[in-house]
Structure 1
Amino acid sequence: MMQNSSYMPWSGNNNQIYKSLTELLNHGYLTHEVQHRESSPSIKVYTITEAGLAELKNWLLAAAEPPEFKKMFLVRLAGAGSLDAAELQIMLDRYEQEVRLQLAYHEEKKRRDAAAAGVTPRAACIRDMIGDNVASFYKAEVEWIQRLRQALSLIEENEEEHP
């Protein structure tokens, strides 16, 4: 779930996952059962406990943190005043292409997720709205790029008229 998510950043590895599972076990938030299989290695199946569900509920209902705003492109753009018009357009073209690729990826992912079985209508609605939130970011970014291009075009026209 975390690997396929654009809104749940995870750069960890299996060792970190198992360390976290051990901590959750030690706190009584999980139990586990070893399932032996004939043709492959045994596996541990983890199950959340009542205490784990209560802790999860507390976490879900805790005060929300403010949204983060980090866009490295804006840092790069802040230094782009020294670029000539053609170089700036190349920079914007590359960024816009990446934004459009991300938008297409997330729209396709949402389409595929809609076909996923085994989720409640509420969970499907929440998942869909999260997908809408992610897609709206990329759509707004494309619109912003277009407004930036228009503003820069007006400046260039003015500079040509009044050198």
Structure 2
Amino acid sequence: MTINYTILGLLESGDRSGYDLKKVMQELDFLPWSGNNNQIYKALVFLLEEGLVENRTAHRDDGPSKKIYSITQLGKETLHSWAKETQPQLPEYKKLFLAQLAFAESEAVELLETYEILLKEQLAYHEEKLKRQFGFPKRNERESYIWQMLYQNLLDSYQCELTWADKMKEGLVKFHEDKSDK
């Protein structure tokens, strides 16, 4: 299950509580999971039972105690075995928006304009997150580079969609102009 490996990967860069894991997973849009509490804690119980993580209780004066999880050597071996053996997946192209656009008529240009606005907002948001290096593990330069490139992949995807939407809109406007010339 992907969430288990995501948790192992995050714990490899440092010990965290379940709440800390949730915050990071919610913010990192390139991770394939949204940060549902129940899923995190179920996964942590499984990982504990399998000996892939261990925990300790951290007592705090300013609030309730919390469990801090860390990856075990077996957890590290399992994570790296998965990373080495799992085949990469191609991007997903089945999008509701493309179906809407396929069957749109006069509203197609307006749909594209709305889509462009959403893309620009996401692009700006993720550019800011990249600038702040949110969630980056800071263990070494190689790892920081990898995380920077993960964000760049996301930015490039949004930019590519924006370029495509603009090209599609131009083509639709041209068809509308050609139709009105006749």
Q: TM-score range by the shorter chain?
A: 0.7 to 0.9
Structure 2 counterparts to residues 36-47 of structure 1, below 5 A: 36-47=59-70
Question: How many pairs were matched up?
Answer: 158
Give, as a single letter, the amino acid of the residue that structure 1 aligns with 2:124: A
SS at match of 2:94: coil
**Structure 2 match to 1:32:** 55
Instruction: Give 1:43 deviation, angstroms.
Output: 1.5
Specify the code of the residue in structure 2 equivalent to 1:76: Q
Contact 2:137 2:144 in 1 (8 A): no
Q: With the length of structure 2 as denominator, give the TM-score of the two structures.
A: 0.78
Question: Structure 2 stretches of 5 or more lacking a match?
Answer: 1-23
- % identity of equivalent residues: 37
Question: What CA deviation, in whole Å up to 9, does each residue of 1:66-108 have, x standing for no partner?
Answer: 222232210110110xx32xx3322111111001111111111
Among 106, 128, 147, the alignment partner of 1:108 is 128
The 1:66–1:110 alpha-carbon spacing in structure 2 relative to 1, beyond 3 Å, is same
Using the size of structure 1 for normalisation, the TM-score is 0.87
Which ranges of structure 1 fall in alignment gaps of 5 or more residues? none
Aligned equivalent of 2:99, options 56, 62, 75: 75
Compare CA radii of gyration and give the structure with the larger one. 1
**Higher alpha-carbon deviation: 94-103 or 145-154:** 145-154
Q: Which moves more between the two structures, 150-159 or 124-133?
A: 150-159
